[in-house]
Structure 1
């Protein structure tokens, strides 16, 4: 039996509704009749749909007016890029995605956190990514501080090297001056020694004359007195 276009569309729509209802029960333990399943549920429905960016178009139509292609795509992506979550979980995911402060994060944790939910996995990866970004920022700041300290250290090393070169140059000058002064002192000592030797000879000759004069006065004085 060949189905008409409307019959074929109704068949796949019902199949899609049943798949969505079964998925809601598997994920949230919530019983929803296939005829009551919506792609844009209200807050009172106690479930919501989380979908990846690339598959957002799946939720832009109503099930009642969808096409066969839409129904097939929903069934194919169910549990992969489309899944049922609680409204609180969806709100938390949206707040995280928009980088807004998350309120009452503890109450937003639901059963899909540990049942393989890709929404929870995305939130976990986003949290890990934020932690890595924060760590990267801290590492970058530390690196900049280290580079600043390194530049300061290199500047200080150059200053010390310049001071060392200056001190070495001054030490060389002082060494040359010391050699010159030592040479002058040596020459002065030689001159003094020669002078002392010369003065000593003159002093020795004077003493000999004084001795001779003393002998003359002691020996010849009586003779001169007698002669006179």
Structure 2
């Protein structure tokens, strides 16, 4: 499989570099540092150039390339977005959108990557490198969507399983409640019965004591009569 094709400042950036050298020494310095692969230093120079001329497509475009080389893909894409608003030149726009597509691709934002590649092809329809990258991005997006769909299905199954477990636990508790209530009622019935028996026993004891007292009293009366 062919690797993802990238257009960098060393190729598509050359027209911008030539234009920039006459107007902005910061860009010229940044380009030299970029070619020496000193990307952090070149970023600083390009940002200086932007401060001096905020409408310089060269500064934003080259800054995007510098950030890309530092693997700051989202930041790079943002700079390419800015660069795209600063020119109507189709060839420059094609280059900007191509690199923008590469940045979004590396950031795994394949939807935006596809959009950028399509815009690049709109401005330069004959670019087979961009067309190839577009096909790669479309393939990646399809894989990403399939993975997301599978994750969603797995999550749905997990949620259903969790809900079923919760329902089973609830049903089990609901089944236990009548049993517990019945057990309590039985315990109360036994306790009440015992209280009644105790009450009867106490009453009987009191009656027997009264009878005994009456018998003893009657016997004392008889003894007096004698």
TM-score in same-fold range (> 0.5): no
Q: Which is higher, the Rg of structure 1 or of structure 2?
A: 1
TM-score, scaled relative to structure 1: 0.41
Structure showing the higher helix proportion among its residues: 2
